[in-house]
């Protein structure tokens, strides 16, 4: 099972559209995970139409329309891998311990909010991934998203993709 992980797209405030490379990836995979801060409902509609399966949550910049359609936390079993998705996880200090306590029956936690790519493992084995942002890199050198695969209920082939600078 192939995945695209993204978050903090902030459309249309930070960009008019997602980068073409990300749309191509979205259309090619089995599941797309979006960890919040869509900002506009039209992106949710477009991503739903262009992906085979979409798992998403709302973020702190998402208004009532998106909150009515998306949960704050999503829990899903993907080919035997127990996945949770949430926008915010709090400060980076103590994140692994905090998330392991909050999501005890989870193998993978996908989160956003910071716009900073993150890949760590908490005590007990919970994997934490933040794909960064494909449209608003903030202080990061690149806008980013992640791809990954699930094989035999295990997360494999996690890859951070750097996007070209917007013109």
CA 125 to chain centre: 19
Q: What is the mean pLDDT of residues 116-133?
A: 97
- How far is Cα 137 from Cα 114, in angstroms, rounded to an integer? 10
Domain assignments of the chain as residue spans, ordered by start: 2-163
Q: In the structure, what pLDDT confidence band is assigned to residue 128 with cuts at 50, 70 and 90?
A: very high
Give me the pLDDT at residue 139, please: 87
Model-level pTM?
A: 0.96
Give me the pLDDT at residue 138, please: 87
- How far is Cα 51 from Cα 67, in angstroms, rounded to an integer? 20
- How far is Cα 20 from Cα 86, in angstroms, rounded to an integer? 25
Compute the mean pLDDT over every residue in the chain, rounded to the nearest whole number. 96
Give me the pLDDT at residue 15, please: 85
Q: Which CATH class is domain 2-163?
A: alpha beta
- Cα distances from 11 to residues 24, 89, 97, in angstroms, run 18, 22, 32
- How far is Cα 73 from Cα 99, in angstroms, rounded to an integer? 13
- How far is Cα 36 from Cα 49, in angstroms, rounded to an integer? 18
Give me the pLDDT at residue 103, please: 98
pLDDT digits (tens, 9 = 90+) for 133-167: 999 988 899 999 999 999 999 999 999 999 987 65
- How far is Cα 37 from Cα 143, in angstroms, rounded to an integer? 15
Give me the pLDDT at residue 14, please: 80
Q: For residue 85, how many C-alpha atoms fall within 13 Å in the half-sphere facing its CB? A: 26
Give me the pLDDT at residue 166, please: 65
- 127 pLDDT more than 80: yes
pLDDT digits (tens, 9 = 90+) for 24-40: 999 999 999 999 999 99
């Amino acid at each position: 099972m192939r995945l695209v992980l993204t978050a903090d797209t902030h459309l249309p405030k930070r960009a008019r559209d997602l980068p073409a490379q990300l749309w191509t990836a979205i259309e090619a995979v089995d599941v797309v995970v979006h960890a919040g801060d869509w900002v506009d409902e039209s992106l949710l509609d477009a991503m739903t139409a262009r992906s085979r399966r979409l798992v998403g949550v709302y973020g702190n910049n998402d208004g009532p329309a998106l909150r009515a359609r998306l949960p704050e936390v999503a829990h899903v079993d993907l080919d035997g891998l127990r996945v949770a998705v949430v926008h915010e996880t709090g400060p980076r200090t103590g994140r692994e311990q905090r998330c392991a306590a909050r999501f005890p029956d989870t193998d993978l936690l996908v989160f956003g909010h910071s716009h900073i790519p993150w890949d760590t493992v908490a005590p007990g084995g919970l994997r934490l991934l933040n794909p960064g942002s494909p449209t608003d890199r903030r202080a990061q050198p690149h806008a980013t998203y992640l791809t990954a695969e699930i094989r035999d209920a295990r997360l494999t082939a996690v890859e951070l993709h750097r996007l070209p600078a917007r013109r």
